[in-house]
Amino acid sequence: MRDRFSKLMMTVAIGTAAVAAISVSTGTSAQAPAEGFVMKTPWGDPDLQGIWTDEASTPLQRSPKYANQEFFTEEQRAELDKARSELLGRDRRVERGTELDVAGAYNAQFVSVKRTGLRTSMIVAPSNGRIPPMTPEAQKTMAADRDFRLALLQSTDTCKNESVACRGGKYDPKPSARRSELSPRYNTARMNRFDNPEDGALPDRCLTLGLPEFGANAGSFRRIVQTPNGVTMFYDVGQGQGWQRNIIMDGRPHLPANIRQWYGDSRGHWEGNTLVIDVTNFSPKTDYQGSRENLHLVERWTRTGPNTVDYQVTIEDPTVWTQAWTAKQEFALQNGKENRIYYEPRCVEGNYGLPGLMRGVRTDERAFAQRKGPDPAKRDIATDFVGVEDDPLQ
Amino acid sequence: MADRFLPAMILVGVAAAAVGAVVTFAVMRAPAAAPTTSATATPATIEGKPNFSGIWQANNEANWDLQAHAARPAAVTQQGIYPYDYARVPAAPVLALGAAGAVPGSLGVVQGDGEIPYKPEALARKQENAANWIDRDPELKCYLPGLPRAMYMPHPFQITQSTNKIHVAYSFTNTARTIHLDEVDGPPDDAWMGHSVGHWEGDTLVVNVTNFNDRSWFDRAGNYHSAMLKLTERFTKKSPDVIWYEVTIEDPEVYTRPWTIAMPLYRRAEPNMQLLEFRCNEFVEEFMYGSLRKEQLVRRWDGEMMSVEITRKIPEGDRFYEWYSK
């Protein structure tokens, strides 16, 4: 589910100036941190300060076609960059006049891409570059959620036309009785119903998804400011979405278990020149790839050069995955004079979308009741990005 | 399909253009095993300047009303049996809360004669704001609080002071701002929290804040500003745990002259203090969008002394959109 939201975030690309991005040199090596490189604050801590972003595009999971190849060859990167550049501006459509065509407005004409990264996947462990298998329990939970969402779609054209969005489901002209049910667990993703605000995806409700933050296709920015015994990070993930982390550095234990937060609870310490942050206490209303309140992250931030930070995060949730997994990114320092981060997570301030969607559905319901419009259960208000060009990198 | 209505219509038109960063640094090379821990106590100074790092909170009634005001029975009142202002009674929206819905009094934080020098037409709008507090105060919708209001809301905030940047993180709705002590380009757009540029005058941190939009308020009394707002903030350490905070407010569109508020900010000295999330946009979902549910959810509350019935309304036509833009 998270993947769909990541795509939502692609729309930020407008500001990310595709042309400039494609000409960026990552200027980095794939090697481990340069040995002995140290940059320190005046008070002697390793210095991670500045605005950081991942200037390259790397898929989270490795495509099976690269098997155990951890890095692209230069030729592969060049080919991928060429193929991906050609997608820019292509206005791919699905059948004109359909709901899905309208929903596909954010196609390659709208989004931009960054240059292909060095790695074939962000995931470095396990060594196949893939998220480990889910536990049987988690698989059941995910399947139940999927079945519920497909039931809500079953009487729409999306299923009638056997769109990819209905994969695993089948068309039935009779709306499902499940339309009046709650989703199997607290909803975080868009569904084909808007009876309540809680039927919306978290981003529809201005409840940004949080950690771990990999920046989706268009990237995200994080500013780090340090003080003795304190590290703060402000994330700008585009589209008015952002949040802050104030990392507790004095060694005290995590928050009590009954305090749950959207961005968890971050406890950091220095190991040599690496900032190690342990993150727990996530809210059961968050969802990262199926992981909720039991999500546990261990992040490692290491300055590797004047303009680079190596970021690694180990992601663990024994209730969801059969083993922990680790992803890696390399961040590039941004020009500190150019004010290229937006501090305002302003979203609810301009959220005409959520009330507009709900009001639209209430209007449809009234029209249907008066026999002046179609059955809202037969319309698809949930599916998007159908018809979007497939990025050959993903 | 809903993408057309993506939450933030404000696209990050920021110069996010990822051009290669050209920054030079003084780079020290040292053995990888060099000790890297800093002292555990927060130092009193950073590079010779007072260190404002820590978690702080105002402890006053300024968020109710910047000006001197007597305590009153409720945030919203109606006429009592006498027609006098001093004899009003709690109005329906807060009646069930008893004394918890009352407003504490204050001598005010406006310096000098205590008056806010509104132009006559601006004063009329302030009074109208106050009369329509529930419908209009951005705080109730969990909108970004703006400045200086974020500094004296009843929520803590954290200062992280470095050498060239001072980051301020507010608990209320994930608000943040960075005070730039070094040279930096302005923001790409006007902003709820403005654009903060600081410098030192002796041991006082002086911050000029510009590039505001016209949407935030100063308090629950309807005090407001236009997009011409400019602030000059002065942070001075009175003691290790007290900052004297002064801010001069200029806005030629709304006021006849600059005016100043001042107050202490206190350190949250609890040893286990940390900034917790207050993501109120989730809390106000029922307030904001409850009227648009398929079936009304919050209808009635029953206590021993009264029941409260809720009847939801949806503003019609254009007013629907106007309401969300207020």
Q: How far is CA B36 from CA A47, A300, B248, in A?
A: 10, 15, 41
With 0-12 / 13-18 / 19 or more C-beta atoms within 10 angstroms meaning exposed / middle / buried, residue A10 is buried
Residue type, B293: R
Q: Are A315 and A326 in contact (CB under 8 A)?
A: yes
The answer to whether position A178 is within a domain reads yes
A310 interfaces chain B, CB cutoff of 8 Å = no
| CA-based nearest distance B325→chain A, Å | 7
In terms of residue numbers, what domain contains A150? 136-204+362-378
Per DSSP, B46 falls in state E
Q: Are A20 and A340 in contact (CB under 8 A)?
A: no
Spatial neighbors of A311 by CB under 8 A, at least 6 apart, are: A299, A300, A301, A328, A329, A330, A331
Average pLDDT (A342-365) is: 88
Q: What pairs with residue B207 in β-bridges? A: B198, B233
pLDDT of residue A139 exceeding 90, the answer is yes
Would the CB atoms of A226 and B162 count as touching at under 8 Å?
Answer: yes
Q: For residues A46 and A48, what is the distance between their CA atoms, to the nearest angstrom?
A: 6
Q: What angle do CA A277, A281, A283 make, to 5 degrees?
A: 125
Q: With bands split at pLDDT 50, 70 and 90, how would you rate the model's confidence at A35?
A: low
pLDDT of B22 higher than 60? no
Which chain B positions have a beta carbon within 8 Å of A236's beta carbon?
Answer: 12, 14
Q: Is A390 on the interface with B (CB under 8 A)?
A: no
Nearest of A321, A385, A318, A381 to residue A353 by alpha carbon: A381
Mean of pLDDT over chain A? 86
Q: Does residue B282 fall inside a structural domain?
A: no
Candidate from A111-115, A299-303, B181-185 with smallest mean pLDDT: A111-115
Provide the pLDDT for residue A387.
59
The C-alpha atoms of residue A2 and residue A8 are separated, in whole angstroms, by 10
B162 and B233 fall within a common domain: yes
Instruction: Please indicate, yes or no, if residue B16 is contained in any of the structural domains.
Output: no
Q: Residue B32 in contact with residue A35, Cβ under 8 Å?
A: yes
A353: in domain: no
Task: Give a yes or no: residue A281 inside a domain.
Answer: no
Where does residue A314 fall: left (phi above 0), alpha (psi -120 to 50 degrees), or beta otherwise? beta
Dump strand ranges (E) for B106-189: 157-161, 165-170, 176-180
For B267-287, the pLDDT digits (tens) are: 999 999 999 999 999 999 999
Reported confidence tier of residue B73, pLDDT bands at 50, 70, 90: very high
User: Cβ of A153 under 8 Å from any chain B Cβ?
Assistant: no
Contact assignment for B185 to A53 by CB distance below 8 Å: no
Beta carbons of B20 and A12 less than 8 Å apart: no
Name beta bridge partners: B224: B217
Q: Average pLDDT of B242-250? A: 98
Q: Which tokens in the block code for residue B157? A: 């905030």
Which residue of B4, B46, B167 is the best one to mutate when testing the A interface, meaning the one whose CB has the most A CBs within 10 A?
Answer: B167
Between the alpha carbon of residue B160 and those of residues A225, A340, B76, B180, the distances in Å are 7, 20, 37, 12
* A46/B46 Cα distance (integer angstroms): 16
Mean pLDDT of A380-391: 74
Pair of tokens at residue A196: 């309540």
Question: In B, which residues are within 8 Å of A262 by CB distance?
Answer: 277, 279
Provide the pLDDT confidence category of residue A394 given band limits of 50, 70 and 90: confident
pLDDT for A388 equals: 59
B320 and B214: one domain? Answer: no
My answer on whether B128 and B241 are in the same domain is: yes
Domain count along chain B: 2
> Domain check: are B233 and B163 in the same one?
yes
Using the beta-carbon criterion (under 8 Å), do B292 and A42 form an inter-chain contact? no
Assign 3-class secondary structure to chain A.
Answer: CHHHHHHHHHHHHHHHCHHHHHCCCCCCCCCCCCCCEECECCCCCECCCEEEECCEECCCCCCHHHCCCCECCHHHHHHHHHHHHHHCCCCCCCCCCCHHHHHCCCCCCCCCCCEECCECCCEEECCCCCCCCECHHHHHHHHHHHHHHHHHHCCCHHHHCCCHHHCCCCCCCCCCHHHHCCCCCCCCCCCCCCCCHHHCCCHHHCCCCCCCCCCCCCCCEEEEEEECCEEEEEEECCCCCEEEEEEECCCCCCCCCCCCECCCEEEEEEECCEEEEEEECECCCCCECCECCCCEEEEEEEEEECCEEEEEEEEECCCCECCCEEEEEEEEECCCCCCCCCCCCCCHHHCCHHHHHHHHHHHHHHHHHCCCCCCHHHCCCCCCCCCCCCCCCC
What residues in A contact B285, CB-CB < 8 Å? Answer: 197, 205
The predicted pLDDT at position B19 comes to: 31
Tens of pLDDT along B30-57?
334 433 344 446 899 999 999 999 999 9
Contact residues on chain B for A203, CB-CB shorter than 8 A: 6-7
Instruction: Give the model confidence (pLDDT) of A182-214 as tens digits.
Output: 999 999 999 999 999 999 999 899 997 789 999
Question: Over the stretch B89-132, which tens digit does the pLDDT of each residue have?
Answer: 999 999 999 999 999 999 999 999 999 999 999 999 999 999 99
Instruction: Using CB atoms, pick whichever of B23, B160, B167 lies closest to residue A336.
Output: B23
CA-based nearest distance B90→chain A, Å: 29
Cβ-nearest to A259 among B31, B276, B285 = B276
Q: Which residues of B touch A341 (CB under 8 A)?
A: 14
Among A61, A84, A83, A77, CA closest to A3: A61
Contact A338, B186 (CB under 8 A): no
Task: Read off the pTM.
Answer: 0.88
Instruction: Say if residue B258 is in the same domain as residue B178.
Output: yes
**What is the identity of the amino acid at B66?**
L
Within-domain flag for A160: yes
The count of domains in chain A is 1
User: What length does chain A have?
Assistant: 394
Dihedral class, residue A96 (left if φ above 0, else alpha if ψ from -120 to 50, else beta): beta
Q: Distance between terminal CA atoms of chain B?
A: 26
Around B270, how many Cα atoms within 13 Å sit in the side-chain half-sphere? 8
Which of B8, B30, B36 lies closest to A239 in CB terms? B8
Q: Per residue in B147-199, pLDDT tens?
A: 999 999 999 999 999 999 999 999 999 899 999 999 999 888 899 999 999 99
Q: Where does the pLDDT of residue A217 fall: very low under 50, low under 70, confident under 90, or very high at 90 and above?
A: low
Using CA coordinates, name the residue in chain B closest to A200.
B2
Contact between B23 and A306 using a beta-carbon 8 Å cutoff:
yes
- The span from the CA of B180 to the CA of B167, in Å, is 9
Q: Say yes or no: A234 contacts chain B, CB-CB below 8 A.
A: yes
pLDDT at A34: 53
The answer to the question of residue A158 being in a domain is yes
Q: Residue A53: inside a domain, yes or no?
A: no
User: For residue A105, is pLDDT > 90?
Assistant: no
CA B323 – CA B216 distance, rounded (Å): 15
Which residues of A are less than 8 Å from B25 in CB distance? 39, 306
Q: Are residues B306 and B258 in the same domain?
A: no
Q: Which chain A residue has the Cα nearest residue B277?
A: A261
Q: What share of chain B is helix, strand, coil (3-state, %, to 5)?
A: 20, 30, 55
Per DSSP, the three-state class of B277 is coil
Please check whether residue B277 lies inside any domain of the structure: no
- Using the 8-state DSSP alphabet, how is residue B224 labeled? B
For residue B1, the chain A residues in CB contact (below 8 A) are 99, 102-103, 380-384
Chain A residue closest in CA terms to B274: A248
Tally helices (H) and strands (E) across chain B. Answer: 7, 16
Interface of A with B in 244-263 (CB under 8 A): 244, 246, 248, 250, 252, 255, 259, 261-263
**Range(s) of the domain holding residue B166:** 54-69+105-267
Among A327, A325, A304, A307, CA closest to A316: A325
* Same domain flag for B225 and B308: no
Contact between B279 and A24 using a beta-carbon 8 Å cutoff = no
Q: Does residue B20 belong to any structural domain of this protein? A: no
Same domain, B143 and B221: yes
pLDDT band at A389 (very low <50, low <70, confident <90, very high): low
Is A182 touching B (CB cutoff 8 A)? no
- Domain check: are B177 and B262 in the same one? yes
d(CA A116, CA A66): 14
Q: Is the pLDDT of residue A341 over 60?
A: yes
Contact list in B for residue A244 (CB cut-off 8 A) is 169, 174, 176
- Confirm whether B256 is domain-assigned: yes
Residue A7: what pLDDT? 37
Rounded distance between C-alpha atoms, residue B176 and residue A225, angstroms: 12
A266 pairs with which residues across the strands?
A: A279
Say if the Cβ atoms of B289 and A25 lie within 8 Å.
no
pLDDT tier for residue A249 given thresholds of 50, 70 and 90: very high
Please name which of B181, B180, B38 lies closest in space to residue A41, comparing C-alpha atoms.
B38
CB pairs under 8 A between A and B: 328
Same domain, B204 and B255: yes
User: Strand pairing partners for A296?
Assistant: A316
Residue B46 falls inside a structural domain? no
Residue A386: per-residue pLDDT? 66
Q: Is residue B23 part of a domain?
A: no
Residue at B191 is within a domain: yes
> Do the interacting molecules here have an ipTM over 0.90?
no
Pairing state between β A56-57 and B195-201: unpaired
B66 CA to chain A: closest CA distance, Å? 24
A240 Cβ under 8 Å from any chain B Cβ: yes
CA distances from A241 to A224, A238, A350, B160 (A): 17, 5, 12, 22
CA distance B105 to chain A (A): 30
Question: Closest approach of chain A CAs to the CA of B18, in angstroms?
Answer: 5
Question: Which residues on adjacent β-strands are paired with residue B166?
Answer: B161, B179
pLDDT at position B4, please? 36
